[in-house]
Every structure is written in C-alpha cells, then in structure tokens.
Amino acid sequence: MEITNAQVQSISSIRRAIGIETLKKSLNQDAQSMSALLQGFQAANAKAMEISVTPHKGGSIDIRV
C-alpha cells in the first residue's frame, strides 16, 4: 500500500492538532494549579499577619488556683 503526499499531510495535520490540544489542556491544568497555589499563599500570609499583629494571643494559658 502506497501512502500519498495528501495522506502524509493529513496525518501531519492531525498530529499537530493533537499536540496543540494536549498543550492547551496542560496549560489549563497548570493555570488551575497555580491559582490554587496562590490562594493557599494568600491564606497563609493572612494567618501570618494575624499572628504578627496579636502575638500575645494563644502563646500561653493563664490558670488560677
């Protein structure tokens, strides 16, 4: 069976399209991961700021006997 030039071009086009779609999907997943990571950083930063503003809270327990 002989493969014609048109078939070779068609196969190449399909391969490129699959590669582009794979890249789009991986970039979208990376964007979602980065968004979740940034939200985690913001939450950690907010907690650190809260602790630095009130360092006396939660550091010790006062007990009366």
- Please identify every stretch of the chain with a pLDDT value under 70, giving residue numbers as ranges: 1, 54-59
* pLDDT reported for residue 49: 81
Mean pLDDT, rounded, of the chain: 82
CA dihedral 15, 21, 22, 28 (to 10 degrees): 170
